[in-house]
């Protein structure tokens, strides 16, 4: 078992992203968040909108409706704050809330997109990101997840990837 970062940010475990094997993280993340200390748990939820860059340039219209944009119910705990974002990176309000921590664990979907963007944003905010490999996936498939982990190791060091279950 691996030691915990100070806070946990659960990223985009939403109905619209549960495909190509990414749904495998729901059970492990549900267990992780139930065991996480109250007050140190945060959620990030992506919301697409008509005319977004995703729609215009990637022809992607998912996560515009409540059903697709909703968090998977099993992973939400109590009164933990949920922040919305409309691009890859977390919003400034979330980064401000996380400034009180020296380290933040990242889990969820997609390792190759919003998890990586959150890692860069945390790093720039002088907060050490840790990607929880066992609790993360890519809706693009396992090859994108693996490629993202390689990039994260290169950018943030081999210690930035926490493998296995978190104690």
CATH of the domain at 37: 3.40.50.850
* Residue-level pLDDT at 19: 81
DSSP per residue, 95-160: HHHHTT-SEEEEEEE-IIIIIHHHHHHHHHTT-EEEEEEEEEE-TT-HHHHHHHHHHHHHHH-GGG
Consecutive 10-residue averages of pLDDT for the chain (167 residues): 84 87 94 95 89 74 77 93 94 98 97 96 97 94 96 94 89
* Residue-level pLDDT at 50: 83
* Residue-level pLDDT at 103: 97
In a domain, 167, yes or no: no
* Residue-level pLDDT at 1: 52
In a domain, 95, yes or no: yes
* Residue-level pLDDT at 2: 59
* Residue-level pLDDT at 149: 97
CA distances to 17, 21, 108, 143, 156 from 63, in Å? 8, 18, 16, 23, 30
Q: Which residue range(s) make up the domain with 138? A: 7-162
Q: Count structural domains, the chain.
A: 1
In a domain, 2, yes or no: no
């Amino acid at each position: 078992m691996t030691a915990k970062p100070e806070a946990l940010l659960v990223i985009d475990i939403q109905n619209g992203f549960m495909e190509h094997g990414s749904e495998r993280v729901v059970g492990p993340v549900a267990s992780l968040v139930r065991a996480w200390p109250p007050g140190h748990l945060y959620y990030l939820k992506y919301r697409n909108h008509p005319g977004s860059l995703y729609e215009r340039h990637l022809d992607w219209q998912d996560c515009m409706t409540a059903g697709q944009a909703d968090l998977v119910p099993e992973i939400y705990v109590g009164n933990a704050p949920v922040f919305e974002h409309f691009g890859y990176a977390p919003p400034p309000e979330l980064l401000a809330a996380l400034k009180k921590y020296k380290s933040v664990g990242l889990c969820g979907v997609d390792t190759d997109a919003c998890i990586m963007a959150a890692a860069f944003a945390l790093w720039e905010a002088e907060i050490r990101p840790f990607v929880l490999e066992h609790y993360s996936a890519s809706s693009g498939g396992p090859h994108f997840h693996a490629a993202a982990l390689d990039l994260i190791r290169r950018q943030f060091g081999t210690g930035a990837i926490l493998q296995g279950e978190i104690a």
